[in-house]
Chain A
Amino acid sequence: MLSYLKTTVCAAAGLAMAATSAIADPYADYSGETLVVNFPAHPHFDAVMKVLPEFTKETGINVEVDQLQYLKMRERQTLELTKNKGDYDLIAYVVFSKADYVYADQLENLARYFMNPKLADPNFDAEDLIDGYVANIGVAGGKKGYLPGPTGSLFGLPFGSETSILGYRKDIFEKHDLKVPETYDELLELACLIPELEPGMGGLASRAASGHHASHAFLLHLAPLGGRIFDDEWNPIVDNEAGVKAAEALKKIVNCGAEGSKTFGFAEAGASFLQGNSAMFLDSTVFAGQVNNPDKSKVVGKIGWAPHPVGVRAGSQTGGFGIGIPKNAPNKDAAFLLMQWLTSKKADKLIALAGGNPSRYSTHSDPEVNEKFPHMETFGEALKNADPDWRPIIPVWGKINADLGTTLSKIIVDDFPIQESLEGVSVRTRALMDEAGYYTWTQ
C-alpha cells in the first residue's frame, strides 16, 4: 500500500513537475524546430548573427539565416511572399517595404500574438521600444496609412532601425574654437566656414548623387526646416517655402563640400568623413560603428556626436529595418517567439554590445553599453526627436522619390531654378497620387 502510495505520489509529482515545466517554459513546444529567417547583409544583422546562438541555447529552437544584400533580399521576399506556403518564418524588411507588404496582406498582424498568453512575454516592456521606430517600421493603417492612430495595427517591430545624427571633427572644432551646431542656421554657416578655415577640407559630407541619395539628403533637411512632402489631404507641398529652404540648404552644403561631393552616395559621403576630407557628417546612426575602426577610418578618436540640428522643429530621420512574420510562414508561433526574444531587453543589449543598433531606450542608457560605445547616450537623446513622418511610406513613394532625387540633382549640378523645379515635382507627384486613387474622396 505504502509503495503504491509512494508510486502514486511520485507519479503525480512527476506529472505536476512536467506540467509546471511546460507552463514555465514557453519554448518547450517548439524545441527542436528549425526557423528559417531572411536578414540583410548589414552591420546590425552581422551583430545579430553573433547573438543568435544564445537563442538556440536558451530555447532549443534552431535558426537558419538566409542573409542577402538588401536589394536582393527585397527581390527574394517579393517572390517568397506571393507563394501559398513560403520558406521564411521571419523576415527583416526595409522601412519602405512596409507599405507594399501590408497593402498586399503579406505580413501577420501581431495583435493576436501579443494577446496569446502562451506566447507573449509579460516582461517584454513594449513601452521601452523607441516610439519613432515603432511608428515608422511597425504600424500601418493609422493616420495616412503609415502612422499611428485609432485605426492602426502593428505588423512588425523595429530591428536595425536608424535615425540621423551629426558627427563632427572634435580636433578641427577645438582648433578653431567652433561651437557644435544646434540649429540649422549654425549648421549652414559652419558648412561653408570650415572650407575657409581648413583649405581643402569640405564642411559637411552629404549625399547628393542623382536619385535616392539626393532625395534622402533633402528629406534630412526638409522636416527640421518645417516641411513635408504632403499635407494632411495628400496635396504635394514640397514646393512651399520650407521645401525651397531645404533644397537651398542641400545645395549650399554640397557646394561647400569636399571635391566630388555632387556625386556622393552614402558610402562616398561616409568615406569623405572617414578619410578626413570633411569636417562634419549628417546621416544615419548606422555609420557610427565605422569611425573608430582603424581599417576604415583615419579619424579614430577624433569624432564627436551631437543630435541632428533643429530648424523650426526637431525632426530627425527614421529608417532602417524591422522584422515581421510573413502570412505564409510555416512556423508562425515559433517565429513570434524568436522575434520577441530578439527585441527583448536582454537581446537588444547583447546585440548593441556586439555592434548592432539598439531599438530600446533602456539599451541606450545602459552603463555597460555606454562604457563600450560612449556615443550611445547621445543617440538615445537624439532618438526622442526621431520623426516617423519624416518621409511618406506609401506604395507610390518609390516613383516620387526617384523624381524628387533626379530633380534635386539637376538643381545641384545644373543650377535649375529651385522654386520652378520643385513645382514640377509637385505637379508630377499630384498626377501620380491621382492615378493611385488618393483624391477619390476629395474631388
Chain B
Amino acid sequence: MSVAIKANRLTPYLFLAPAGIILIIALLYPIGYMVYASFLDWSPSQRIGQAEFIGLRNYINLMSDEAFRESFWVTIRFAAVVVTLEMALGVGLALLLDRNIPGMAVLRTVFILPMMIAPIVVGLMWRYMYHPTVGIFNRTLKDMGLEGIPWLSDSTWSFIAVVIADVWQWTPFIFILALAAMQSLPRSALEAAEIDGASEWQKIILIKLPLMMPVLIVTLLLRLIDAFKVLEVILVLTNGGPGLSTEILALRIFRTAQEFQELGEAAAMSNVLLMLLMAITIGMFAYNRVQEARAARQRAIAEKGDD
C-alpha cells in the first residue's frame, strides 16, 4: 500500500481525533473521578487530595447499611412498576390513536403535555392534588360521602402516589415513540394480513408488536434508566417517606452527599447504581440484537410476500 493511500485512510481519523479525545475525556474523566472518590473518606470541607484513602470500606459499609438496602429495593420496585405500567399504557394508547380521525393531531399534542412540565413542578402539582383536605382527590371522595385516602401519609399509598405521578408524566414518552414506530411499519405487511383475513388483534400481536420490538426495547431501556434516576418528583412529593417507603437510590445518594456530607459514600452508591444500569443496558442491547435480527427476517418475509 502506498504512503498516499495510507495517509488518505488516516485523514478522517485525524479530523475526528480532537473531537473524539474531548468526548472521551468529558465522558470518562467524571466517571473516573467518581470511582476514585468512592475509595475515599471525603467530606465537602476537604479538598479531594486531603481525603483519606480507605479502599473498599465505603462499599463494605453499604452492604451493611439497612437504609441503603431498603432504598435499593424501593428503586427496583419503583422502576419495575412504573416502566411496566408506562409501557402498557403508552403502547396501548399508540395502538388506539394510530388512525386518521379528525382532531387526532390536537389530541396527540395534549397527550405529550405532561412531559414538558419540569419535574419539580410536577411534584408540587401532585402534592397539592394529594392534599388530605383541599386536594382534588380527597375532596371529590368526600363529596361522594367516602373516606379520604391517606395519599402521602401511608407507606403503601405514598408509593402508589409517586407511581401515579411518574406514570402520568412519562407515559406520553412511550406513546410518542411507539406511535412513531407504528407509523413507520411497512403498510404492505398489514395490507397482506388484512387480505389474509387477520383480525385487528392478530395484526397487533403477530405483525405490529414484533416489528416494533427493536424500537420498544430501546424505549424501554431509556425509560428504565430514567426511572432508576428519578429524584425531583419524589423529593417534592414525599421526600422519601413515610419511613423509607419511597426513598429511591437517587434520593439516598443526594442525601448522603448533601445532608450527611459523605461524598465518598455517595460516590460508592452512585457506582453501584451505575453498575446496575450498565448490566441492564448490556443485557437489553444483547436482547435487542436478537429481536432486530428477528424483525429483519420478518420484514424480509413480508417484503418477499409483496413481490
Interfacial chain A residues near B260, Cβ < 8 Å: 398-399, 402
CB distance from A302 to the nearest CB of B (A): 21
Question: Does chain A have a CB within 8 A of B153?
Answer: yes
Measured in the bound complex, the distance between the Cα atoms of B155 and A262 in whole Å is: 11
Given contacts A259-B133, A260-B133, A398-B259, contact A209 B239 (CB under 8 A): yes
A209, B241: Cβ atoms under 8 Å?
yes
Measured in the bound complex, the distance between the Cα atoms of B261 and A75 in whole Å is: 10
Measured in the bound complex, the distance between the Cα atoms of B46 and A104 in whole Å is: 7
Question: Does chain B have a CB within 8 A of A71?
Answer: yes
Measured in the bound complex, the distance between the Cα atoms of B150 and A210 in whole Å is: 15
Partner of B155, one of A100, A403, A414: A414
Question: Does chain A have a CB within 8 A of B215?
Answer: no
Question: Does chain B have a CB within 8 A of A358?
Answer: no
Interfacial chain B residues near A103, Cβ < 8 Å: 45
Interfacial chain B residues near A395, Cβ < 8 Å: 43, 261
Measured in the bound complex, the distance between the Cα atoms of B131 and A212 in whole Å is: 21
Question: Does chain A have a CB within 8 A of B114?
Answer: no
Measured in the bound complex, the distance between the Cα atoms of B248 and A96 in whole Å is: 26
Q: How many A-B residue pairs have CB under 8 A?
A: 92
Interfacial chain A residues near B14, Cβ < 8 Å: none
CB distance from A236 to the nearest CB of B (A): 16
Measured in the bound complex, the distance between the Cα atoms of B155 and A75 in whole Å is: 31
B244, A406: Cβ atoms under 8 Å?
yes
In the complex, residue of chain A having the shortest beta-carbon distance to the beta carbon of B237:
A263
CB distance from B72 to the nearest CB of A (A): 15
A409, B241: Cβ atoms under 8 Å?
yes
Measured in the bound complex, the distance between the Cα atoms of B47 and A106 in whole Å is: 13
In the complex, residue of chain B having the shortest beta-carbon distance to the beta carbon of A104:
B45
Given contacts A78-B45, A82-B45, A395-B261, contact A259 B241 (CB under 8 A): no
In the complex, residue of chain B having the shortest beta-carbon distance to the beta carbon of A399:
B260
In the complex, residue of chain A having the shortest beta-carbon distance to the beta carbon of B156:
A414
Contact with A along B127-144 (1 / 0, CB 8 A): 000011100000000000
Question: Does chain A have a CB within 8 A of B292?
Answer: no
A403, B241: Cβ atoms under 8 Å?
no
For window 252-289 of B, CB contacts with A under 8 Å fall at 255, 258-262
- The prevalent SS among residues of A at the interface is helix
Question: Does chain A have a CB within 8 A of B200?
Answer: no
Given contacts A104-B46, A260-B153, contact A399 B242 (CB under 8 A): no
Question: Does chain B have a CB within 8 A of A332?
Answer: no
CB distance from A262 to the nearest CB of B (A): 4
Question: Does chain B have a CB within 8 A of A413?
Answer: yes
Partner of B66, one of A277, A402, A428: A428
Partner of B242, one of A101, A259, A398, A414: A414
Contact with B along A250-277 (1 / 0, CB 8 A): 0000000001111100000000000001
Measured in the bound complex, the distance between the Cα atoms of B255 and A399 in whole Å is: 9
Interfacial chain B residues near A209, Cβ < 8 Å: 239, 241
Q: A78-B45, A104-B45, A398-B260 are in contact. List 5 more A-B contacts (CB 8 A).
A: A259-B148, A403-B67, A406-B247, A412-B242, A413-B153
Can you offer 30 A-B residue contacts whose CB atoms are under 8 A? A75-B258, A82-B45, A82-B46, A103-B45, A210-B238, A210-B242, A211-B239, A211-B240, A211-B241, A259-B133, A260-B133, A260-B153, A261-B153, A263-B153, A263-B238, A263-B242, A402-B255, A403-B67, A406-B241, A406-B243, A406-B244, A409-B241, A409-B243, A410-B155, A410-B243, A413-B154, A413-B241, A413-B243, A416-B243, A435-B61
- Residues of A at the B interface (CB closer than 8 Å) are 71, 75, 78-79, 81-82, 100-101, 103-104, 106, 209-212, 259-263, 277, 395, 398-399, 401-403, 406-407, 409-410, 412-414, 416, 428, 435
- Residues of B at the A interface (CB closer than 8 Å) are 43-47, 61, 66-67, 131-133, 148, 150, 152-155, 238-244, 247, 255, 258-262
List 7 A-B pairs, minimum CB-CB distance, nearest first.
Answer: A210-B241, A260-B132, A262-B153, A104-B45, A413-B242, A410-B243, A78-B44
